[in-house]
Every structure is written in structure tokens, then in C-alpha cells.
Amino acid sequence: IYFPPAKINLGLKVLARRKDGFHNIESIFVPTQLCDILEVHKLDNAPEGELKFECSGLEVNGRIQDNTIVRAHQILSKQFSLPALEAKLHKIIPTGAGLGGGSSDGTFMLKAINDICSLGLSEDSLENYAEELGSDCPFFVKNRTSFVTGRGEILTPILNEQGAHRLEEMMILIIHPRVHINTSEAFAWLKEDERKKEQQGHHVPQHMNKHSDDLLDSPVEKWGGVFINDFEIPVTNRFDPVKNALGLLKNSGADYIQMTGSGSSVYGIFEKTGKTLKDTKMTEMAQKVAEKASKEGFFVYFGALA
């Protein structure tokens, strides 16, 4: 049994378009405690190489053959003789939400097959296979907070122990306003808005203005000036539910608020103070906002960040 997690972006800077049609990005990926549940085991009395796949929980749209779990199995079955397998996914992470749930599921399927079938693949090999699944899939192999470049496949783990410890002590409130954002369209909106800014004489920054190590040293309430998501303004200008979800977070007492990925999920991060009364009030404020968001029909997760 595996627990593929959702991830959030701390900042997301879109850089130049590549020759392969993708864009280079800069971001920090952080795994969260919001997880799907994936059960994988061998099947007796079934043809070799067969995959039986079942899904429960939240509805997953699209064709079954396009599911990342099925595609992960196809990738490895081309290279290895696999026994018959059964995979059961219980979907908890909303799909099309900017949380990387599908990427996480597929990558954890690669890891599960490697474990169960004793393929002996290294983490580097798994990352190469994961890259075939999607740009952000390699991140979920090691599943550690990382500075991310390229299409999302070039990972530099943030190893500072104090920083990792800080993340583990933080809380996060994730709100998904149940709006699906098409990533290709989000890139088009971003370019459209950038052209307007350039025509108006505004400078469009091309790189994150601080190195990822600043994550570990700066107070969380100052992250807003450090980690900026380029997609946030284009998306919120076009989708009122996303703007409304961010508005709810502004009343939650969060130290840092942002949209993740190309949307539509938004989140607030809360840094514990170690002072019981203050932390209790922080939790109460966050829970009230979570309840209000739920009443509006939004998906909500409130709990430990990492």
C-alpha cells in the first residue's frame, strides 16, 4: 500500500519557451500530507503482463488507457516481463487542481512495480521512466522538497535540515474551488497578459528573485515577496471562484498565501510559534475558513504540511 501525495509549488516562474514546445520553469516543489491511496499486488491465475485496475473515491475523468497508473505499467512492461498485477486507487486528491495528484499516482505505480517485481531499478532510473509520464513526475520518486528547473524534471533537493524541520512544523490549508484549469490555456493567458504589460512599459521579471535556500532562512510572512506564481494573476482575473478562494484565505491568518501550479487550488501556510494560545487561535481561524469554504462547495484540506 502506497500513499501518493499532492505537492504544492512555492513560486512558479515561467521562463523561455523551449525547442520541444515546453517552457522552462523555476519553482520549489513541496510534498504534502494530502495523499491518495494506492494498493498494488500480484494476481494469481492471470496472464503475464496483465493489469487489472480499479478506481474509487473522487471521480477521475478521461479514458482509462490515459490514466497515469495504466501508462506507468505500460512503460515498464515494454522493458520487463511483468507478472499479472492488480492496482486499486482510492482518489482523495482532486484532479486537474494543480496539485500533481495524477503525476504522483503514476510515479508511485512505477515505484510499486519496481518493489513488487524486484526490478532493482535505482532512483535515477525511476526518474528517467517518470519523465516519460510527465514533466513533474520525477519529483515524486524521491518525494523531497526541491528546487525545480527545466520542464520540471531537473531537481535540486533542499537539504538544509533546519529548513526541512521547519516545513514539518507548518500547517497548510488547501482550497480547491472545483474549477478545472487547462494548462495550455493558462500558458496562453500568461503570454497574453505579458504582452499587455510590455506594451504598457512594465518590466516582466524572468527569474525567481531569490535562490531556494532563502526558503529556509526568511520568515514565512515574507515569502510573498520571494516566491511568486506567474499564473496566479491571469487565472484569478478569469475565474472568480479562484479569486474567491484566495479571498477566504486572506481571512484565515495564514502567513503565506498562493495559488499552486496553473491552478485552480490555492493554499495558505501557517508557521507555528510554539506559543500554545497563539497557535490555538491560528488553528481556530483556519478551521472557520475551512468550514466556510466547504459550505461554498469547495474541496478543503487542513493539516500538516510536510
Residue-wise pLDDT for 219-243, tens only, equals 888 888 788 999 999 999 999 999 9
Residue 198 — pLDDT band, cuts 50, 70, 90? low
**For residue 19, what is the enclosing H or E element?**
none
Cα angle for residues 57, 103, 286 (degrees, 5° grid)? 60
Residues in Cβ contact with 233 at an 8 Å cutoff, skipping those fewer than 6 apart: 193
Q: Where are the beta strands (DSSP E) in the chain?
A: 5-17, 23-35, 37-42, 51-57, 85-91, 146-149, 154-157, 171-176, 256-259, 266-270, 299-304
- Residue 132: how many other CB atoms lie within 10 Å: 14
Concerning whether 136 is annotated as a catalytic residue, the answer is yes
Q: What is the mean pLDDT of residues 11-33?
A: 87
Residues in Cβ contact with 237 at an 8 Å cutoff, skipping those fewer than 6 apart: 193, 243
Q: What is the mean pLDDT of residues 97-103?
A: 95
- Catalytic entry in 36, 105, 136, 230: 136
pTM of the model: 0.91
Average pLDDT value for the chain = 89
Q: Where are the beta strands (DSSP E) in 82-241?
A: 85-91, 146-149, 154-157, 171-176
Query: Residue 264 is which amino acid?
Result: S
Residue 207 confidence (pLDDT) above 80: no
How many Cα atoms sit within 13 Å of 6 on the Cβ side?
30
Concerning whether 7 is annotated as a catalytic residue, the answer is yes
- Catalytic entry in 7, 13, 91, 111: 7
